Chains A and B, each alone.
Chain A
């Protein structure tokens, strides 16, 4: 294995992973902050470093349509987008999932307008949480890179056959240069293996895919999608285990940080959790027993696992990087639901943070920990939702 770190942005790490996957088809339209992925990948195509047929489309709606068409014909097909781009491909996003196509899409999380904002939050992917896609969230450029290979294996697994979004935080991860330890091309090739999905469309046995499906069968097909999602967690665990054994890189569906003796934790996803880990180290030096829990998977939501992990603590605060106007922020809401039937429940509180790229800094995380202590000791703010760092 290579032991040489490279200086790569999250976007470059995604493009490098795509290059090593060498997909048959990439159909993609540029949008900030996803653009550096397609820029870098186009370079690989232009230099003949991949065999990919790159389809330069005129919109994201077409990008997803072409990806669906290619995957339907049995190609390993990929794309990438962000925010308004995802919104424009919306209709076909659902079709990709309900047609059970193993597409891997890089999603560079960015706020959805309006007003127009190009910076990070999770409003784009959270909007798509019920589209039937698997969603994996990455903390840093290294995770982005590694998640691509696991995502491909998950998507193409015979018990799954569902599309996967590999999410990374816009600008914070996508445009920040960090140390990334790449794998050798041959190692990647061996790990991802040959595609075992033959496609849906064949000339030998022509038939129609995705036609009208009304009252008589639509509901059965939706139930099958729900059922397919139930297979995902065991498959991911198996693939993560294989990845760890092969490359000595440990990924778990739920990562725990300094939780062994903790009585309270911060729960959150993606780049903010790096900051959280650093602040936890600082607080630990002051004798405060705080830890962190980071779900890498949001769809399917690992409800049973999260309940088992979190029921150990007296108090938890959940950080959501998106809002759900008129309801609970997404991660908070899922965790509440996971606990409803549990006998032992921690105190629980929500903070919405970092909307539109607002910097979630060390002081804010310290504030969260001080709120956690109050929550643990008094339970007063149980079930409340607040905004972090809002004037």
Chain B
């Protein structure tokens, strides 16, 4: 369990949190890491709150439990912000990335942080997604922001896997637009 970087994604069905987590795992494997990516399955329906988890480590990952104390929380749907107990969940000194057009200072007042020492980052992933894709699929810009914040995964790797994983399902045009969104997000994180 030592040296495992744990991530919890908070989202709603349809926003691509699961695909995002899988792409992150793919990219991390290429960077010689050991990974897990798995959703917390409940009754699946579009719009329902969901949690998705990632583990990334230099050593094989053996633990098979839900993540309760992550190093990094991604909130892909900002409407969930008030229902998450960040104080309880986040590891001390952990990081939070929120999909919002607000600044961390503005959003902080709505968050249940208590005395938690947390680094908060925001990215307007929905805005970027709408600009490049014409709809709200914020998972790829979120990955761009994650890459910028953590420097754990190169966006080049994400691009490669985005192409591999989704080309047959969505075609080149959608892939290109997602790559533009990914690159745009890389430099637009607010801290």
Asked whether, in the complex, the Cβ of A278 is within 8 Å of the Cβ of B68, the reply is no
> What distance in Å separates the Cβ of B18 from its nearest Cβ neighbour in chain A?
10
Shortest distance from the beta carbon of B165 to any chain A beta carbon, whole Å:
9
Please report the C-alpha to C-alpha distance between residue A169 and residue B68 in the assembled complex, in whole angstroms: 21
Per-residue A-contact encoding for B8-47, CB less than 8 Å = 1, 0 else = 0000000000000110011001000011111101000000
Contacts of A179 in B (CB 8 A): 29, 34-35, 60-61
Whether B38 contacts A359 by the Cβ 8 Å rule is no
Among A7, A275, A282, A360, chain B packs the most CB atoms within 10 A around the CB of A7
Q: Of A170-178, A207-215, A329-337, which stretch is located at the interface?
A: A170-178
| B35, A362: Cβ atoms closer than 8 Å | no
- Do the beta carbons of B36 and A176 come within 8 Å of each other? yes
Report if A178-B1 is in contact (Cβ < 8 Å); known contacts: A7-B25, A7-B26, A171-B41: no
Q: Which residues of B lie under 8 Å from residue A359 when comparing CB positions? A: 65-66
| Distance from A124 Cβ to chain B, minimum over Cβ atoms (Å) | 17
Closest-CB distance, A340 to chain B (whole angstroms): 33
Which residues of chain A are near B36, meaning CB under 8 Å? 176-178
Beyond the given A140-B64, A271-B64, A272-B64, could you list 17 further A-B residue pairs with CB under 8 A, ordered by the A residue number? A7-B37, A118-B41, A119-B41, A171-B41, A173-B64, A176-B37, A177-B21, A177-B36, A177-B38, A178-B34, A179-B29, A274-B62, A278-B1, A281-B2, A361-B65, A361-B66, A362-B63
Q: A274–B41 contact, CB under 8 A?
A: no
Whether A91 is near chain B, meaning CB under 8 Å from some CB there, is: no
Alpha-carbon distance A129/B26, docked complex (angstroms): 37
CB atoms of B62 and A6 under 8 A apart: no
User: When the two chains form their complex, are residues B38 and A176 in contact, meaning their CB atoms are under 8 A apart?
Assistant: yes
16 contacts across the A-B interface (CB closer than 8 A): A7-B22, A7-B26, A7-B29, A140-B64, A176-B64, A177-B35, A177-B37, A177-B38, A178-B34, A178-B35, A271-B64, A274-B62, A274-B64, A275-B65, A281-B1, A362-B65
B34 touches A361 (CB 8 A): no
Residues of B within 8 A of A (CB): 1-2, 21-22, 25-26, 29, 34-39, 41, 60-66, 68
Q: Are B65 and A6 in contact (CB under 8 A)?
A: no
A360 to B29, CA, bound (A): 26
Q: Which residue from chain B places its CB closest to the CB of A169 in the assembled complex? A: B64
Q: How distant is the Cα of A362 from the Cα of B68 in the complex, in angstroms?
A: 10
Alpha-carbon distance between A172 and B39 when the two chains are bound, in angstroms: 9
> Chain A 359-378 against B: per-residue CB contact (8 Å), 1 yes, 0 no?
11110000000000000000
Interface string of A96-126 (1 = CB under 8 A from B): 0000000000000000000000110000000
Shortest B52–chain A CB gap in Å is 11
Within 8 A of B (CB), among A256-301: 271-272, 274-275, 277-279, 281-282
Q: Is the CB of A282 within 8 A of B1?
A: yes
Contact B66 A175 (CB under 8 A): no
Is the Cβ of A274 less than 8 Å from the Cβ of B34?
A: no
Could you tell me the distance in whole angstroms from the C-beta of A16 to the nearest C-beta in chain B? 15
Q: Which residues of B contact A281 (CB under 8 A)?
A: 1-2
**B62 contacts A278, C-beta separation under 8 Å:** yes
A5 at the interface (CB under 8 A from B): yes
Chain A's nearest CB lies how many Å from the CB of B56?
Answer: 11
Complex Cα–Cα for A179 and B147 (A):
21
Closest residue to A175 on the B side, CB-wise? B38
B64 surroundings in chain A (CB, below 8 A): 140, 169, 172-173, 176, 271-272, 274-275
Out of B22, B41, B63, name the residue touching A275 (CB < 8 Å).
B63
A276, closest chain B residue (CB)? B62
A282 CA to B62 CA in the complex, in Å? 13
Chain B residues within an 8 Å CB radius of A172: 38, 64
Hey, what's the 0/1 contact readout for A229-259 against B, CB within 8 Å counting as 1? 0000000000000000000000000000000
Q: Which residues of A contact B29 (CB under 8 A)?
A: 5-7, 179
Q: Considering the complex, give the chain A residue whose CB is closest to the CB of B28.
A: A7
Tell me how far the C-beta of B32 lies from the nearest C-beta in chain A, rounded to whole angstroms.
8
* Interchain CB contact under 8 A, B35 and A278: no
Query: What residue in chain B is nearest A43 (Cβ atoms)?
Result: B168
* Distance A140 CA – B39 CA, assembled complex (angstroms): 16
| CB proximity of B63 to chain A, nearest CB, Å | 5
Query: What B residues does A360 contact at CB under 8 A?
Result: 65
Chain A hits for B62, CB < 8 A = 140, 274-275, 277-278
Q: How far is the CA of A171 from the CA of B21 in the complex (A)?
A: 16
